[in-house]
Amino acid sequence: MTILNLKKQIIEVGRRLWQRGYVAANDGNISVRLNEREILTTATGVSKGFMNEEMIVKIDMEGRSLERHAKFKPSSEVKMHLEAYRQRPDVHAVVHAHPPYCTSFAVAGIPLDRCVLPEAILILGAVPIAEFGLPSTLEIPEKIRPHLQNTDAILLANHGALTLGTDLMNAYFKMETLEHAAHIVWNAIQLGNVNVLPEEVATRLMALRSNYNLSGKVTSCQAGPLTVSKMARSAKADFNNDLTEEQIEEIQQAILKRLKK
């Protein structure tokens, strides 16, 4: 793929991230590895929903711009992208965003490491949380480093999420899968229960990865129960206790009566 086409793809992925609410204002960043020495990355201070080709800059593996007369500078958060490329030769694209649901789990300190959804088990496996690192500093690369050999998706404590891929769409779709899974688990928590699949089912699912030609690094998810928060239990109890059985019966009869008219 030509550099121009890669830039167009980065622009499209940025637009999708923004449209889905995975980033706000100038949040997030996207990068693609061109070769062993060069990276394309989104510029600092630009909305990912309104980018053009000028806002995609070429840098080296030290984060230095390779475009002498570029109007835009690379994002300071590209440091964690570069760390992923250094540690993982198989990674050719990185997406960083702040999707609301998986970022909520990151803020709450709850890893998405339970065996809940078959698709998430197959594509992501267990998703850990990297300890908090100050944005734009070398702390973030240091904090994600322990996880890079075991997973293609990482929650960043009190920050957001990072996904790695064999190409840009692969990395982006992992971000979609991560947020979709987090949203479903969150909804299940609000309902008061999360059914976790047994270990043998998760093992069988992981064995299917080769059948689907799934690449990347995954760690088997955990089969233990996901503890429902006291807040969720309380909300469920309040919901159940708001109405008496007699009141519920009256409402049901009134609805049936109206439907028969």
Sequential pLDDT tens for the chain (261 residues): 999 999 999 999 999 999 999 999 999 999 999 999 999 999 999 999 999 999 999 999 999 999 877 789 999 999 999 999 999 999 999 999 999 999 999 999 999 999 999 999 999 999 999 999 999 899 999 999 999 999 999 999 999 999 999 999 999 999 999 999 999 999 999 998 999 999 999 999 999 998 998 999 999 998 888 765 544 444 444 444 456 777 666 666 665 565 455
Which among 96, 93, 91 has a CA at the least distance from the CA of 179?
96
The backbone torsions φ and ψ at residue 93, rounded to the nearest 5 degrees and listed phi first, read -160, 150
Q: CA neighbours within 13 Å on the CB side: how many for 258?
A: 6
Integer Cα distance of 167 and 171 in angstroms: 6
3 state SS of 142: helix
d(CA 159, CA 108): 11
State which fold the 3-210 domain adopts.
L-fuculose-1-phosphate Aldolase (3.40.225)
pLDDT (0 to 100) of residue 101: 98
Say how many C-beta atoms besides its own lie within 10 A of residue 164's C-beta.
25
Q: Does residue 200 carry a catalytic annotation?
A: no
**pTM: predicted TM-score of the whole model, two decimal places:** 0.87
DSSP state of 109: T
Classify the phi-psi angles of 25: left when phi > 0, otherwise alpha if psi is within -120 to 50, otherwise beta: left
> Among the options 54, 77, 83, 249, which is catalytic?
77
Q: Residue 225's pLDDT is what?
A: 83
Distance CA 77, CA 59 (A): 13
DSSP codes of every residue in 154-199:
EEETTTEEEEEESSHHHHHHHHHHHHHHHHHHHHHHHHT--PPPPH
pLDDT of residue 235: 40
CA angle 248, 253, 258 (to 5 degrees): 130
Say what the pLDDT of residue 255 is: 57
At residue 213, the 3 state secondary structure works out as coil
34, 58 in Cβ contact below 8 A?
Answer: yes
What are the backbone dihedrals phi and psi of residue 69, each rounded to the nearest 5 degrees, phi first? -110, 25
